[in-house]
Structure 1
Amino acid sequence: MTTERAYHHGDLRRALLTAALDAIAQEGPDALSLRDLARRAGVSHAAPAHHFKDRTGLLTAVAAEGYALFADALAEAPDLRERGVAYVRFAARHPAHFQVMFRPELHRTDDTALLTAKARATDELRAGVDDLTDAARGEDARLAGIAAWSLAHGFATLLLTGNLDGPADGKDPAELFRSVAGFLFRPPTTPGSS
């Protein structure tokens, strides 16, 4: 009966990824096992290994999918601050992907699909910094990129771990991030101006 159910999923790979994302969202990536995943998806215990080989392969697929979705979200943002907003929204909408993407010890860092998706996301993040004026970016674009990434990633992480519940006071996280970013990424003032 289990074998019969396994062939009626339509897209078994997608069903397994969805079950994995649900499990990660509930219990974190460290608790994920292929046996539990098979149970959640209602398939034989061998089905996940057929599609992903092992747990690392599954988490690599989750990370690659996450980076692809992340790159798409960033590409829609018109400037650096809105890329930060897209970053925060992505984390809030895709917490399981987010938990896996930035933990390279969980996946195969040399996987082609992962490297391609990650490169697209990195290019989108860099494009936001490249769009800054020289005065706003400072002398070192790389450091400006690290500062912007640190702000967005730190904010998203604080949001996902519930650490902004009190300070956010029910405010929309995207709007709150815009305000926070505004404190740090203001156009420089010229001497003598107020």
Structure 2
Amino acid sequence: MATARKADKPYHHGDLRAALIAAAEAELIGKGIDAFSLRGAARRAGVSHAAPAHHFKDAMALLDALAAAGFARLTATMKEEQAAAGADRKAQLVAAGVGYVRFALDNPELLQLMFGTSRRKSDDPELGRNADAAFSVLVNGVGMIRGRDAFTGEAGWRDVAACWSMVHGYAQLAIAGKMEFVTGLEFTRQRDLIEDLVRRALPEKAPL
């Protein structure tokens, strides 16, 4: 009986998709988005260069999946901070902001992928759902304080924009080393500042 050729054997991997997404993050961190390649991710995952085709049609599809995973992790980090915060409504929003910055500072390359303009606009449904879920944490935080009626007009959305701009802007400036007074500081030493900034972004009374 002839022995089957190795190439004819079915390909096996515990979770090829998850392995490729993890490898893609390592590739992104190691080479940056401009030098990112599907072959490089496959190599890091220890699979053949053809293996990614089982799940991703091209490098951009793999990056979409990585960005989707990033938004899921962002949501989880914000909710983790909220779980440790007090029940006070404003404390919950502040905690979400702290979680946002913590995720960003821990994952600068991933943050750039998630929000950068160097990647084509995606219609990937998982990416859309996960991005919306992360955004909703901030929206719900504002809604708890201002009331859901605030979103019937512009006031609530302006509050969301203020909080989002504050935490995202802080994170980007800190990552770029543009705020010398926080550069190099451990996150625990930045926490009080971030909390204060979120409170400033949403004053007790909404502006007229």
Which of the five TM-score ranges fits, normalised by the shorter chain?
0.7 to 0.9
Q: 2:107 aligned to 80, 83, 94, which one?
A: 94
Partner in structure 2 of residue 20 of structure 1: 24
What is the alpha-carbon distance in structure 2 between the residues aligned to residue 54 and residue 139 of structure 1? 40
| Structure 2, unaligned runs of 5 or more | 1-5, 83-90
User: What's the offset of the Cα at 1:116?
Assistant: 1.6
The residue aligned with 1:174 is 191
**Take 1:152 and 1:75, find their aligned partners in 2: how far apart are those partners?**
15
Distance 1:184 1:71 in 2: 20
Q: 1:12 to 1:139 in 2, by over 3 A?
A: closer
Q: Which amino acid letter does the alignment assign opposite residue 14 of structure 2?
A: G
What secondary structure is seen at the aligned counterpart in 2 of 1:29? Answer: coil
**Helix, strand or coil at the partner of 1:70:** helix
Q: CA deviation at 1:8?
A: 5.9
Q: Contact conserved, 1:168 with 1:176, CA < 8 A, in 2?
A: no
- Correspondence for 1:33 among 37, 49, 54: 37
Q: What residue in structure 1 maps to residue 67 of structure 2? A: 63
Segment drifting more, 96-105 vs 18-27 = 96-105
Cα distance in 2 for residues equivalent to 1:144 and 1:3: 58
> Quick one: which of 110, 113, 126 aligns to 2:139?
126
Matched length: 183
Paired residue for 1:142? 157
2: CA distance, partners of 1:177 / 1:3:
55
Distance change (3 Å), C-alpha of 1:13 and 1:140: same
Contact 2:159–2:201 (CA<8 Å) still a contact in 1?
A: no
Aligned-residue CA RMSD (Å) = 2.9
Name the CA distance, whole Å, in 2 between partners of 1:41 and 1:3.
19
- Residue 43 of structure 1 aligns to a residue whose secondary structure is coil
* Aligned-partner Cα distance in 1 for 2:94–2:145: 10
C-alpha change, 1:68 and 1:113, in structure 2 (3 Å) is same
Task: Say whether the 8 Å CA contact 2:166–2:201 is kept in structure 1.
Answer: no
Please state how far the C-alpha of 1:54 moved relative to its aligned partner: 0.3
1:35/1:171 CA distance change after superposition, 3 Å:
closer
1:10–1:64 distance in 2 versus 1, CA, 3 Å: same
